[in-house]
Homo-oligomer: A and B are copies of this chain.
Amino acid sequence: MPPVSLDTLDTPCLVLERGRLQRNLARVAATVAARGVRLRPHLKTAKSIDVARLAAPDPATPVAVSTLLEAEYFFAHGYRDVFYAVGLGPGKLPRVAKLLRAGARLLTCLDDAGTAAKLAAFAAAEGVAFRVLIEVDCGEHRAGVAPDGPELPEIARALGRNFAGVTTHGGQSYDGRSAAEMNAFGEVEAGAARLAAGRLAAAGFPCEVVSVGSSPTAMTTNALAGITEVRAGVYMFGDLFQAGIGTCALDDIAVSVLTEVISRPAGRDAFLIDAGAFALSKDLATASLPPAQQAGYGWLCDLDGRLLRGLKVARVWQEHGRVVSDRPLAPDAFPVGTRLRVLPNHICPTAAAHATYNVVEHSRAVLATWPRINGW
């Protein structure tokens, strides 16, 4: 049997360049370490124990997740300090309690006094200690209470002994387009967390955890006094949007979608590939960038990862993607059967459609297949 390679893999599928992943991990780890705080790698993008082992080789490292399924999976693989960083609804209390009882140091977050009271009553009735962060809004206006508002001490009181600190996410940093803007967003993010933690401490609720982070603000160099940890996830792989806002370079993008040309209509500067809405996702993140960085549903590379400038996936159907060229295509270019790789707009939803990563390094040989954990 011939060795598995990008020439023979079933398409569509994910290709992960291990060297790029390791470089991305090292760069952000060094940046965050230099700021004197710990990095809590967010595993919502990777969702893979094999990636986690590179991002956080010591299982005592704190990690973040976006679903309780991820929390259960990484805990089962030895990671005890796991932050489920999405607001906790009361329907999830039993599942969280089960993890806590099993020995996980699971952190959760919420922004609602009613839920905090329910949680405290549930924890007391079940004899389980929760570890809950109050979510603070630092300007994204997604979730969270105002760092200077009246809800903050009220929620801490309702949580009682289950209170563990504060968390915020400067998601508005995705609107940043320069290092100076990212720094400013990072200051706002850390400032909100610091203000909230200070008010809580003054009210008798010292914070064990003061957690901030997003991939753009994690890579800034602001001072982080009073902050205990920085979360980031998408930096592991990068994508065209992250490259567009300057948080990675194009050749840092570590995951792409392997695809095959399946239709090459005569007389058109376009062709179809077998990677469509499902294999790439319908995310159009780069549509908000300047025209030269707008990638449709993705830019194309050849099988060895070299960017094919001027080609992009302009339209997708469930299992078809239409690649268009900004210049005339030679009639014999990209015949049916040609293998290509698509750089994703936004790697989180793209990766979520796939069950595995095919790992390569410096060649087309597949060195390993790493599973992912999707769903809830």
Contacts and interface: CB of A to CB of B under 8 A. Distances in A.
Contacts of A81: none
Contacts of A110: 262-263, 336
A112 B349 CA distance: 32
Interface residues of A, number: 66
Main secondary structure of the interface of A (DSSP, over half): loop
B262 A87 contact: yes
A91 B11 contact: yes
B336 A142 contact: no
B263 A87 contact: yes
Contact of A115 (B44, B336, B355): B336
Interface string A82-112: 0000111111100100000000000000111
A320 B264 CA distance: 39
Contact of A376 (B12, B89, B114, B339): B12
Nearest to A65: B319
A189 interface: no
A266 B349 CA distance: 30
A75 to B, nearest CB: 16
Contact of A143 (B44, B272, B279, B318): B272
Interface string A317-340: 111101000000000000111010
As for how many copies of this chain the complex holds, the number is: 2
A318 B66 contact: yes
A10 B376 contact: yes
A367 to B, nearest CB: 20
Given A11-B91, A12-B376, 5 more contacts: A90-B337, A92-B260, A114-B336, A282-B282, A355-B375
Interface of A: 8, 10-13, 44, 66-68, 86-92, 95, 110-112, 114-115, 118, 135, 137, 141-145, 151, 171, 260-266, 272, 274, 277-279, 281-284, 317-320, 322, 335-337, 339, 348-349, 352-355, 374-376
25 contacts: A10-B68, A11-B89, A66-B318, A66-B319, A86-B320, A87-B262, A87-B263, A87-B274, A88-B262, A89-B274, A90-B336, A110-B263, A110-B336, A112-B263, A115-B337, A142-B317, A143-B272, A145-B265, A277-B283, A281-B282, A282-B282, A352-B353, A353-B374, A355-B374, A355-B375
